Chains A and B, each alone.
Chain A
Amino acid sequence: DQQVKQNSPSLSVQEGRISILNCDYTNSMFDYFLWYKKYPAEGPTFLISISSIKDKNEDGRFTVFLNKSAKHLSLHIVPSQPGDSAVYFCAARVSSGSARQLTFGSGTQLTVLP
């Protein structure tokens, strides 16, 4: 039962254009969402996050949008750079209680073409 889904395993974008990575979730209890980036042979590194009380969070070239009614979030990277080529994981968690566990999607391989 995949509570966090990234339906696109891969995405190719030309350098300088916008990259849009999508993520859907099914658990309405999730109230905090994160994006991680992963290079080969390295651990995931935090990129950007958003609380369910917001619908947008921006950090430089990266913007995350949250549509709670659709249970959908997206990561926009603009302009895309070759160094952005990596696997991007969407993750979600429930903040209440003692659990701090993240539920991850399966990742989307982004390739930015020079």
Chain B
Amino acid sequence: DTAVSQTPKYLVTQMGNDKSIKCEQNLGHDTMYWYKQDSKKFLKIMFSYNNKELIINETVPNRFSPKSPDKAHLNLHINSLELGDSAVYFCASSHTGHGATKRQYFGPGTRLTVT
């Protein structure tokens, strides 16, 4: 039983297309995140979201948008894909209450290739 799952695992698409990556967590966490691992292997935060607020990394283009149908899901929508969007995208989740563990649990990643 996977704690944080992502679909698809691999995604190959052409420039200009619109695509989505789904993320689901069954840990009862109240905050979810999206990270991008670029070609230099840095893991960079894109978004963090709970039911109260969305925090957006200012470097993220507005072609990227998170959508949360419920607390267990945070999907990543990408419009007008560009070559530079090729990367591995990781979803994560955590508790955020006072005294809660600060660990984030990560999904297996989605490798996006834009041709």
The interface of chain A, by Cβ under 8 A from chain B, is 2, 32, 34, 36, 41-46, 49, 87, 89, 91, 93, 95, 98-107
Contacts and interface: CB of A to CB of B under 8 A. Distances in A.
Contact of B48 (A41, A45, A49, A100): A100
Interface of B: 4, 31, 33, 35, 40-45, 48, 52-53, 55, 57, 90, 92, 94, 96, 102-109
B42 A104 contact: yes
Given A99-B55, A101-B48, A106-B42, A43 B102 contact: no
Contact of B53 (A34, A36, A98): A98
Contacts of A98: 52-53, 55
Contacts of B48: 99-101
A43 to B, nearest CB: 3
Contacts of B44: 104
Given A44-B43, A106-B40, A100 B31 contact: yes
A5 to B, nearest CB: 11
Given A42-B109, A49-B102, A104-B35, 19 more contacts: A32-B102, A34-B102, A43-B108, A44-B90, A46-B104, A87-B41, A89-B43, A93-B102, A95-B102, A98-B52, A98-B53, A98-B55, A100-B48, A100-B104, A101-B48, A101-B57, A102-B104, A105-B42, A106-B42
